Chain A
Amino acid sequence: MPKNGTGLTGKSFAVLRKDLLCEFRTRYAVNAIVLFGITTLTVVSFSVGQQSLAPEVYSAIFWIIIFFSAMSGLAHVFIREEETKTAMVLRLTADPTPVYLGKLGYNVLLLALLEAIIAPLFFILTDARLESPALFIVVLILGMIGLAGATTLIAAIISKAGVKGALFAVLSFPILLPLLIGLINATSKAFATGEVYFSAASSELQLLVSYGVIMITASLLLFEYVWEG
């Protein structure tokens, strides 16, 4: 690793930079995740057509697209280490915590890219109306952190399993369901006409923040048991 930083932050950024560099060379996860998202969005737009649907339906569709796109690419960050047999070297050179934080940062960036591409296209290709951009952006950021926080540990688990294909979605879905319920409810508040967006969605926003904090904290505690074996 070039210019190996000292301290937790430095080491985490070193892992993150290494992963971004690997990704930049192959572009496997970015291609998978973004193309999957665009394909699903196109199918949705094609089948919905010119009908205008209720805000709740639009927000559900939006998060279904993000969820399945995320499932197609987020596990790659750990599977790559096992496939290229570099996991052992990484275990020797770095502690579990910076490895987890680096990989978490990488998945957050990947989701940020996905959302930055899918969200504008979603409003172009469907008749959904964005009534509160500020609330929507806050929900997108919280969703990104929650999704990455819960799935990065699952990605580490399945990279050690023999059969990887469908296992990632199977293991992630029950854990992500409370998050998805909160995200869909909060987003439908941003899509519907109203006057007080943030206070209307306050209980959902509390759910999303506490979910992110709990999942990342638990992952930090549990990651070393997955990574050391």
Chain B
Amino acid sequence: MIWKILLFVLMVWVIVAAFIFPAPQQVIGEASRIFYFHIPQAWVAVVAYIVSMVASIRYLKSGAMVNDDRARVAAALGLMFSILAMITGSIFAKVTWHSFWNWDPRETSILILLLIYGAYFALRTAVIGDERRARLAAVYAVFAFLTVPFLLFVVPRVLPSLHPSDSIVDASGRFTMSWQTAAVFFPSLIAFTGLFAWIYTIRLRLCTAERLRNEEMEA
């Protein structure tokens, strides 16, 4: 219970401070405030995929259905957060680059992440039989994860980027965030991750309860 209250305080702090503190990026100005919400959302979208992939590997190793529940719940949340990250990113792109979509490497990466989540659920709906669905979905989640290194390290080198890359570290790798920005950004990162963990535990309990009820009715 105590960490839920802490999460509430943290979230309130992030929402208030994001609007009253100086804007994080002087060149872009007020529009750069979206940074406090956009980056944590993109971060959670990736974390959710890693949780889903790890649960998938554990399912393939153990065959315990609870791991399939974990993979599915994490993927559903990842889908939601990647849509949010995409929308906030598009709004920012429209304001600063005058176009909602530019095929920037990071936009390409989040789009592929979204497509993988979409394909994952398309596959789940197309397979009949719980075990077989769980196994095929787990194989796909692990296989699709292999594109991540290509997206993170290879594609940005091949395509030019418009993303403001100096907002956290500059070209020489030095930390450039002002203390006000850091005082909002890192709590925001923690708050969004905590929010993900909270929704994840609720959804997981619900999913497991539903599955157990169905198994009981079949038995």
Contacts and interface: CB of A to CB of B under 8 A. Distances in A.
Interface of A: 153-154, 157-158, 160-164, 167, 170-171, 173-175, 177-178, 181-182, 185, 203-204, 207, 211, 214-215, 218-219, 222, 225-226, 229
**The 10 residue pairs across chains A and B that have the minimum distance between CB atoms:** A178-B150, A174-B115, A161-B126, A163-B126, A174-B116, A171-B119, A161-B127, A174-B112, A222-B139, A170-B119
B15 to A, nearest CB: 33
A171 B122 contact: yes
Contact of A177 (B131, B142, B147, B157): B147
A215 B143 CA distance: 8
Contacts of A218: 142-143, 146
13 contacts: A161-B136, A162-B127, A167-B123, A171-B122, A171-B140, A173-B119, A177-B147, A181-B155, A203-B157, A203-B158, A211-B150, A219-B143, A225-B139
Contacts of B108: 177
Contacts of A207: 150, 154, 158
Nearest to A172: B119
A175 B145 CA distance: 9
Interface of A is mostly: helix
A176 B154 CA distance: 14
Given A170-B122, A181-B159, A222-B142, 16 more contacts: A153-B143, A157-B123, A158-B123, A162-B126, A167-B123, A174-B112, A174-B119, A175-B146, A175-B147, A178-B147, A181-B158, A182-B158, A203-B154, A207-B154, A211-B150, A222-B143
Nearest to A221: B142
Interface in B56-88: 60
B29 interface: no
B119 A160 contact: no
Contact of A226 (B136, B157, B158, B159): B136
Contacts of B118: 170
B135 A229 contact: yes
B161 to A, nearest CB: 14
A203 B140 CA distance: 28
A153 B141 CA distance: 12
Contacts of A229: 131-132, 135-136
A114 B157 CA distance: 31
A215 B146 contact: yes
B138 interface: yes
B144 interface: yes
Contacts of A173: 115, 119
B158 A161 contact: no
Contacts of A222: 60, 139, 142-143
Max chain B C-beta neighbours (<10 A), residue from A161, A162, A174, A225:
A174
Contacts of A181: 155, 158-159
A181 B150 CA distance: 10
A226 B131 CA distance: 11
B128 interface: yes
A161 B142 contact: no
A182 B151 CA distance: 11
A162 B108 CA distance: 30
A74 to B, nearest CB: 15
Contacts of A178: 147, 150-151, 154-155
A154 B119 CA distance: 11
Max chain A C-beta neighbours (<10 A), residue from B115, B119, B155:
B119
A162 B132 CA distance: 11
A136 B57 CA distance: 38
A104 B141 CA distance: 21
B112 A226 contact: no
B146 A214 contact: yes
Contacts of B126: 158, 161-164, 167
Contact of B136 (A160, A170, A175): A160
B154 A153 contact: no
Contacts of B122: 167, 170-171
Nearest to A176: B147
